Structure 1
């Protein structure tokens, strides 16, 4: 996987493993203590969460959510999703909703002033600032993802170790 060339912020991948879901979970359980200081492995049913350990975690550290599905031919479909820390992702979504809400409110105010033939220049300025804020949030997210790419590769190697 080459996250440097992907446009989306939350990278996804799909793989197939010859191991069963139960064998993959057993491998996770066995590997959990071995990688404990550097990585944190959690699993529940057919979901596995791989995180960077607390002593190496940064604000840009990614996590990996892996979903395992049984296939008819006995193999296992592995669906992975890289993402930022859930708390950080929630904060970014909250900020996006605030920016979008302010934009929509000032859009409605500007439209009302336009229909009443009043001056709506200030409202256009605020809407432009909200577009700038959205662009800044996107740039910050891309920068944080770029900083987390080495740890993303580490998580992918750990996942490959679990699947092999």
Structure 2
């Protein structure tokens, strides 16, 4: 998977396997029962999450969410989604909402100043800064995803190893 050429930040993949969904779910449950100092597997119904833990975990460490869907008696469609750590994702969403809130407030102030024929310079400067901050957050997120690329490959290998077991 070539992550640096993707525009979207959350990478996805799809996989069709000639195995029953219940068998695959059981493989992940069994692996989750084994104590591993580097990985943690959590399962719930037809979902599995693979996390990096311990000394290998960094702020940019991704996790892998898998969803199992039975397409026929002996075939399963797997949807995989790589995502950032939940704390980091929540922080980025907080920043996005703050920037959007400031942007909307200054759009209202800009309109008011335009109607009142006041100076609009400060309003346009703040709006420009908010747009710049949005692009900055995007490029920071891309850099974080790039830093976690090797760990994404580790999670993909772990996923393949669990399925092959």
TM-score by length of 2: 0.94
Aligned position for 1:160: 160
- Tell me what 2:134 maps to: 134
Task: Find runs of 4+ consecutive structure 1 residues off by over 6 angstroms.
Answer: none
Partner of 2:115: 115
Q: Is the 8 A contact 2:106 2:123 kept in 1?
A: yes
For the 8 Å contact 2:20–2:73, the answer to whether it is kept is: no
Structure 2 Cα separation of the partners of residues 35 and 80 of structure 1:
23
Could you tell me whether the CA contact under 8 Å between 1:17 and 1:163 is conserved in 2?
Answer: no
The SS at the match of 1:136 is helix
In structure 2, C-alpha distance between the alignment counterparts of 1:2 and 1:32, rounded to whole Å: 28
SS for the counterpart of 1:71 is strand
Q: CA deviation at 1:111?
A: 1.2
What is the RMSD of the two structures over their aligned residues, measured on CA atoms?
Answer: 1.4
Unpaired runs of at least 5, structure 2: none
Where structure 1 has 5 or more consecutive residues not aligned to the other structure, the ranges are none
The number of residue pairs the alignment matches comes to: 164
Shift of 1:17: 1.1
The offset of 1:26, in angstroms, is 2.0
**Map of 2:59 onto structure 1:** 59
